[in-house]
Structure 1
Amino acid sequence: MTVASDLLREWMPHQRWFGGKGREWADVAESGFFLERESPVLSVHRVQVGYVDGGQETYLIPVSWHDHPTDELQHAFIGAVTFEGRELYGYDAMRDRDATVPWLQHLVAASTVGPMHFHPAGVAYIPEGLPGDIVSGEQSNTSLIYGDQAILKLFRRLEPGLNPDVEVHDALRRAENEHIAPLLGYVEIDDPDGERPPATAAMLQRFVANASDGWRLATASVRDLYAEGDLHADEVGGDFAADSERLGAATASVHKDMAAVLPTEPADEGWFRRLAEQMNARLDEAIQVVPQLTEHADGIRAVYAAVAGIREPVVRQRVHGDLHLGQVLRTATGWILLDFEGEPARSLESRRELDSPLRDVAGMLRSFDYAARHMLVEQPDDPQRAYRAQEWAERNRTAYCSGYSAASGLDPCGDSPLLRAFEADKAVYECVYEARNRPHWLMIPLNSLSRISSGD
């Protein structure tokens, strides 16, 4: 289906999951194969984009083909081509419900179709025959929900090797950890040249039904607090601290099992030194994008310098890598942690490196700050709201750390220079993100860096 190359080249840059926006293309190569030849015909395409700056990315694009225009799929229309003497109309197959059925059928059958291999996980039930409904709002990947039983995540950007999301979920499934959605299967696709390991194309997990998103719950609590002008955070009906404490315990449980079933090793002086160097390098790059960081730079570098001098024992292990309130779900029985693939912008190799669990703790603490302060964007000069936001953030940060400590026997939030540095590093990353995507939110990480760098 190389006839689709020009269509995909025009369509891709407008998709939310495409990470090369704003970069000039140097070349593009496309290859495809048929995953399903019944109606609708389903083809899968790999599009490799080379950029003028020397970078290169490969994207996975399933396309469904119809022999006539389909009005209900107009929102997913890619374009029309002439193939083998007839006109075909191509649509984003992840938005075509009829074209979503084969993914689970092939997983049940453990199929190999062309370069694509389907691997069911153990004896877990896979709901064969159901169509999938797309999850809106995702940025890096595309997910389908099959009834209330399973969720398939398609990894849009392909990289050689097993995706950490599959690797960690499979390990935690074997450990029977109660704070994850068990892995049901995954899909790999061979390297076209056969020189590198297969890339992970998709994964299937049990769907967590009747669950509430952590970010929505936390921000609802903040709104309740703002609505009660004369009450403290612990007096408001929507107090979130008990949930934060349970979330801390759930995080500790996941970290403990990850350390038990995946590799660990002690951190040496060289690792601390390299970590500080990497953080300083990211700060240098961020200042080019966010000049306002300059006034905090000396204080931030002092925080990083303290990391280079750490001598107490630290055990490195696999971690979540991108933990925040949007990556957790609350169910009737507890918290579920999602998306163990790490920060999608980083290479797969770097996301699989051993790290300190404090990176995840820092990510969640930053998320509490965001939840508390996101409404200050509308009224930045309201000292009463600012005070209440700080009170809510401190209460829930403390509760989270207490829950983690009670479950693990380790206090993650003591006077740790490593935790402080991870928080600063995350806030620097947030500054770049906000400057590029939501400039009016930039005040949130900048204010946090002011506190972190001044030692408050």
Structure 2
Amino acid sequence: MAGDRTHDLLDYIVRQRWFAGEGAGWQVVRVEPLAWLSNPASGLGVRFELVTVDGPGGTQTYNVPLAYRDEPVEANAYGLVGTASLGADEMAADVYVYDALHDPLARQVLMRGFFEDSPAPSESTGRDPDTVYVSHLPHDEDGALVIDVDSESVLLAVEQSNTSMVVAETAMLKVFRKVVDGRNPDVEIHDALAGPGDDAIAALWGWISATPSGGSASYDLAMLQRFLRTASNGWESARASVRDLLAEPGLEPEAAGGDFAGESVRLGETVRFVHTLMAERLPTAEWGAAELSALADRLDARLDHLAGRVDEIERYAGAARDVYARLRTLDGPVAAQRVHGDLHLGQTLRTTAGWKLIDFEGEPAAALEDRVALDTVWRDVAGVTRSFDYAANSYLLQTGTTGDAEVAQARAWVARNRAAFLAGYGDGHDHEAARPAGGDTVATALLAAYEVDKALYEYVYELDHRPDWAAIPMTMLDQLLG
């Protein structure tokens, strides 16, 4: 940008919540502007730019859609990146550069490709096939598209690893920020589930991908989905149930007006349905004794890594290894398949038509090869069962509730909803006896191993980021490991 383009870009990127790096010492090593989506000579030029940075966390590439304006726009000040000088054939003078997601007119430009028949270049925009739009926009009962090219959009305030905007209260464009070469699992899985899976997901209406000129790498930049405007988040719904229960001292969860068990059963059924469809439409395998032993080895290695970071993990290490060792006694076969990879109540939506699962990217910090690796469905199941524990105990923490009676109520709520979810999920798992001594089924052994692994990770995460919350996984580890 004017004077130092990379300095302005870096300064903007490292201040964003979606920046995954930590510490200082980051530098921009490459900027790859893609083709213009609107003609900059008109006073508003919009394009995606891929910015690669290097630092303590290694090399990372970020997707930064930028809007180049010939005049400053005060309303867009929050998204100001800096100023720039473009060529005489583009803009004649220094221009103001904004994050395009913070510019309402630029957001309209980003959406235009979904209304065009092909990504071929045009004289007016200069678009090149390095930025490709795939559109599956549906039509309404009158045969018109559910949104139009001039629809207004609103940027969602909640921003973590991605940035999302809602268009005409009907569609949601999720812009992936940290990108890697290859298919984004969120796009891949939604595409695979399209049709029959639409009852359990937010339907995929399109995506944007790019292959920068002169390179072989390909990136998914964004995906367009149906926006479920009347949905409620599963995490908030579960916590509301806990709140209602604790409002009536001594009441059993099943007697509460806000009893959540029925919803937990239906959520289990939905997760099972999605897993079944994923197994039908995506790669699968059968794991025998060797693969189950390898899984135990990976869990041991992860435990070693966590113990190396936090000394407190050592108190659980021996018992955790005993749980993992059970996997080495199993012969299989165990079905392995693609899974959600980061499933918890916050990744679920409760709608009038049933539960929906969202955000199939997997663990955001994990490498792509790990996020697309085959696993057993019990990893996802463990993510939800741990989430019930978090929903109840985070409510206790945040409200300062410490009474023995209330804690007992919360634990009863967790046990009831865990059992209900597992009953809904089914698959012949013995849900009443959580861990029958000397008689573990394969499913029980896998679920126990994943729950311990998840709780250990949570413990380290909370010690690093929210020390006051470390008591939640610590208490569960004490219960799981005696």
TM-score of the alignment, normalized to the shorter chain, above 0.5: yes
Aligned equivalents of 1:156 and 1:27: distance in 2? 15
Shift of 1:313: 2.1
Task: Look up the match of 2:22.
Answer: 21
For 1:247-396, what aligned pairs fall within 5 Å after superposition? 247-378=267-398, 379=400, 381-396=402-417
C-alpha contact 2:242 2:413 (8 A) present in aligned 1: yes
Indicate if the aligned counterparts of 1:361 and 1:412 stay in contact, CA closer than 8 A.
Answer: no
d(CA) in 2 for partners of 1:359, 1:346: 15
Residues in 1 aligned to 2:321 and 2:197: alpha-carbon distance in whole angstroms:
41
Q: Which residue of 2 aligns with 1:61?
A: 64
- Deviation at residue 104 of structure 1 after TM alignment: 2.3
CA deviation after TM superposition for structure 1 residue 122, in Å: 7.6
Give the CA deviation at 1:80.
2.3
1:287–1:171 CA distance, 2 compared to 1 (3 A):
same
Instruction: Report Cα offsets for 1:76-115 as digits up to 9, x if no partner.
Output: 2222234445231222211211111122210221425332
Find the aligned partners of 2:64 and 2:466 in 1 and give their Cα distance: 28
Deviates more, 1:341-350 or 1:27-36: 27-36
CA 1:247–1:52: 2 relative to 1, 3 Å: closer
| One-letter amino acid of the counterpart of residue 234, structure 2 | G
Inter-partner Cα distance in structure 2 for 1:331 and 1:240:
14
Q: State the AA in 2 paired with 1:273.
A: S
- Structure 1 segment 392-403 matched on structure 2, within 5 A: 392-403=413-424
- 1:308–1:39 distance in 2 versus 1, CA, 3 Å: farther
Report the alpha carbon displacement of residue 57 of structure 1 after superposing the two structures with TM: 0.6
Residue 445 in structure 1 maps to residue 445 in structure 2:
no
Query: TM-score scaled to structure 2, two decimals?
Result: 0.88
Extract unaligned runs of 5+ from structure 1.
none
Residue by residue over 1:207-252, the C-alpha shift from the partner in whole angstroms, topping out at 9 and shown as x without a partner, is 1121111011101111111211121111111111111111111111
Q: CA deviation at 1:333?
A: 1.4
| C-alpha distance in 2 between matches for 1:235 and 1:296 | 36
Counting only pairs closer than 5 Å after superposition, residues 185-224 of structure 1 correspond to structure 2 as: 185-191=206-212, 193-196=214-217, 198-224=218-244
1:326 offset after TM fit, Å?
0.7
Question: Residues 100 and 354 (structure 1 numbering): CA distance in 2 closer, same or farther, change over 3 Å?
Answer: same
The equivalent of 2:170 in structure 1 is 149
Paired with 2:214 and 2:475, the residues of 1 have a C-alpha distance of 49
Q: Give the residue type in structure 2 aligned to 1:86.
A: A
Deviation at 1:39, TM superposition (A): 4.3
The one-letter code matched in structure 1 to 2:26 is W
- Match of 1:76, as an amino acid? G
Cα distance, 1:381 vs structure 2: 4.5
Written as runs of structure 1 = structure 2, the 5 A alignment for 1:79-90 is 79-84=82-87, 86-90=93-97
Aligned to 1:75: 78
Write the distance in 1 (CA, Å) between the matches of 2:167 and 2:137: 19
> 1:171-203 CA distances to partner (integer Å, 9 max, x unpaired)?
11143441111111111111555233x111111
1:35 CA drift (Å): 2.4
Q: Report the counterpart of residue 118 of structure 1 in structure 2.
A: 133
CA distance in 2, matches of 1:52, 1:344: 18
**Percentage of identical aligned residues:** 38
1:397-416 correspondence runs (5 A): 397-405=418-426, 409-411=427-429, 413=431, 415=435, 416=444
Residue deviations 1:36-59 (CA, integer Å, cap 9, x gap): 224432132111112256x21100
Structure 2 Cα separation of the partners of residues 298 and 210 of structure 1: 47
Change (3 A) 1:105 1:126: farther
Q: Give, as a single letter, the amino acid of the residue that structure 2 aligns with 1:68.
A: E
Indicate the residue corresponding to 2:38 in structure 1: 36
| Residue in structure 2 matched with residue 49 of structure 1 by the alignment | 53
Query: CA-atom RMSD, angstroms?
Result: 2.1
Superposed displacement of residue 268, structure 1: 2.2
CA separation of 1:107 and 1:371: change in aligned 2, threshold 3 A:
same
- Whole-Å separation in 1 of the counterparts to 2:270 and 2:362: 18
Q: Which runs of 5+ in 2 are unaligned?
A: 121-126, 140-144, 436-443
Mapped contact 2:23–2:56 kept (Cα < 8 A):
no
Kindly indicate whether the alpha-carbon contact (under 8 Å) linking 1:104 and 1:128 is maintained by their aligned counterparts in 2. Answer: no
**Shift of the alpha carbon at 1:307?**
1.7
Number of residues of Structure 1 aligned to a counterpart in Structure 2:
449
Which letter does structure 1 place at the counterpart of 2:77?
Q
Which range moved further: 165-174 or 282-291?
282-291
Does the CA contact (< 8 Å) of 2:114 and 2:137 recur in 1?
A: no
Distance 1:333 1:275 in 2: 37
Task: Tell me, yes or no, if structure 1 residue 233 matches structure 2 residue 237.
Answer: no
Displacement of 1:152 after TM fit?
0.8
**Which deviates the most, 186-195 or 260-269?**
186-195
